[in-house]
Amino acid sequence: MSQEQAPTYARTPRTTPTRYRDRAGWERAEIHAILDSAWVCHLGFADEQGRPVVLPTIYARVGDRLYLHGSTGSRPLRAAGRPDGLPVCVTVTQVDALVLTKSAFNHSVNFRSVVAHGVAEQVTDPQELAVALDALVDQAVPGRAADCRPANPKELAATAVVRLVLDEVSAKTRADGADDDPADADLPYWSGVVPVRTVHDAPVPHPGTTRGLPAYLTGSRDGGAPC
C-alpha cells in the first residue's frame, strides 16, 4: 500500500513528540479534518541569513497537497521557486476550550493541531494553479470560488502559490477536563472548561450589491451563526 493510500502517515523523528506522546496522531483522516477546519496557518522557514521566520498566511488542502498563498514578491514564495525548493514547517492550530484549574500551574488549553515538515515548491502549472486558487477561496467560504470572477492575467502575475506535499506530518490534540491536584480539591476556586468556538455573524452586504444572499452564506460552517 502506498503512502498516499495508507490510513496513517509514516512516523518520523520530526513528527514524534518528546512530550505527551499519547496526544499525537498520524491518522490521515484526523489530520485532514483538522486542516479542513481552519484557513490560517503559520509558515516557518530560515531566511537568507539563516534566521528563523514564521509568517501567517492562508492555505487550502487538496488531497495530500497543501497550498499556501502569497505575493510573488514575498521571500518564502520567491525562495520556493528555486530548483531545490524551500525547507519549511507549517502549523495549524484550533483552540477548542480554555481549561481552568484551582492552581495556576495546571491551567491548559484543549486544542487540535497539525505540524507538517517538507520542501515547499512554487506552483507554475496553470491548471494546478487554477485548482489551488479555487481551493484557497473555498477553504474560507465553501462554494465561493464558483460565484466570483476568477483572477485575470494581471492579478495572476502578482499572485504566487506554493505547494507542500503532506508526507512528514502529524496531529496533536488535547480534549480533557480540568485536572485538579487532589491537594487542591478543597480550595475555594472555580475550575472547569470554557468552550471556545468560531462563529460567523450575519453577512453585511456592500452598498453596491443588488443580489440577494447566496445560498452558501445562509448555512453555517460551525452550526452557529450564518456563515
pLDDT in tens, 146-155: 999 999 999 9
CA-CA distance, 82 to 48, in Å (whole number)? 13
pLDDT tens digits, residue range 67-109?
A: 999 877 777 777 787 888 999 999 999 999 999 999 999 999 9
> What would the mean pLDDT of 30-40 be, rounded to a whole number?
96
Are 209 and 217 in contact, with CB atoms under 8 Å apart?
no
Q: How far apart are CA 73 and CA 79, in angstroms?
A: 10
State residue 152 phi and psi, 5-degree precision.
Answer: -90, 175
Cα of 144 vs its chain's centroid, Å: 19
Cα–Cα distance for residue pair 4/213, rounded to 1 Å: 39
Strands 52-62 and 108-122 turn out to be unpaired
**Structural domains of the chain in order of their starting residue, each with its CATH number:** 13-178 (2.30.110.10), 197-227 (no CATH)
> Closest by alpha carbon to 176, among 115, 111, 92, 105?
111
Mean pLDDT of the chain: 90
Angle at 147 between CA 143 and CA 209, to 5 degrees: 120
Q: How far apart are CA 93 and CA 214, in angstroms?
A: 29
pLDDT tens for each residue of 178-210: 999 999 999 999 999 999 998 888 999 999 999
Higher pLDDT, 200 or 58: 58
